[in-house]
Amino acid sequence: NGCVVIYEHPVVSRDGKVPLGIYIAASDNYDHDQSTTQSLGCTLIMNRLTERIVAEYTGRPLTARMYYETERRLLLYYNALCNYENNLKGLHAYFETMHSTHLLCDTPPNIIDKLDDKTLMNRGKGTPGTTPIKKWGIELILTWLLTPILPDSNVLNLHKIRGEALLSELIYHSKDG
């Protein structure tokens, strides 16, 4: 099933609310309840100010809808906008049913030059999972992993990853699948 792991609770303002824009999320979700692989869903929440991963949810509960609901609640808790691979329709459809599409980020305009098919921008929310965008995403991940946590520090972001699932996925990843 997996579980939500919270490393840092959200920062709240004086009125007790989590300000919009501090937390962002990325989601590698799935649509099918059954899988012939070891594929899991994964949602990471990052504090944009500290660039630290503050929470994660990795798992594959009985149904995709169960995964989406746990993800939705995590996004609400952090008041986070989530970027997701919009090739799959299930997450957006579920969030629409739950009146929660405001938690899904608009398609980032800075990916336009990475799209051969500009009609993919018409999806409105999330990011298309095209090969050039995935390649660029891997470059961005590598840059983040190799960034020092503080200026002039020898400690890199990769040294501070706390999630076993994320570490396993990073180790397992190869360009061939």
Number of Cβ atoms within 10 Å of the Cβ of 80: 27
Inter-axis angle of helices 90-97 and 64-78, nearest 10: 60
The pLDDT of residue 131 is 83
The pLDDT of residue 172 is 76
For 106-134, give one letter per residue: b (16+ CB within 10 A) or e: ebeeebeebbeeeebeeeebbbbebeebe
The pLDDT of residue 119 is 56
Q: Where are the beta strands (DSSP E) in 36-127?
A: 41-47, 52-59, 81-84
The pLDDT of residue 128 is 84
> Helix, strand or coil for residue 20?
coil
Query: What pTM was estimated for this model as a whole?
Result: 0.86
Walking along the chain (177 residues) 10 residues at a time, the average pLDDT comes out as 93 96 92 69 94 93 93 98 89 95 88 64 77 86 93 93 86 67
| DSSP string of 108-176, one letter each residue | PGGGGGG-SSGGGGGG-BSB---HHHHHHHHHHHHHHHTSBSSTT-S-BGGGG---HHHHHHHHH--TT
The pLDDT of residue 107 is 83
Cα(99)–Cα(10) distance, integer angstroms: 22
Number of Cβ atoms within 10 Å of the Cβ of 173: 11
Distance, CA of 57 to chain centre: 10
The pLDDT of residue 9 is 98
- Tell me how far CA of residue 29 lies from CA of 20, 126, 132, in angstroms: 23, 12, 19
Asked if 54 and 161 count as a contact pair (C-beta separation under 8 A), the reply is no
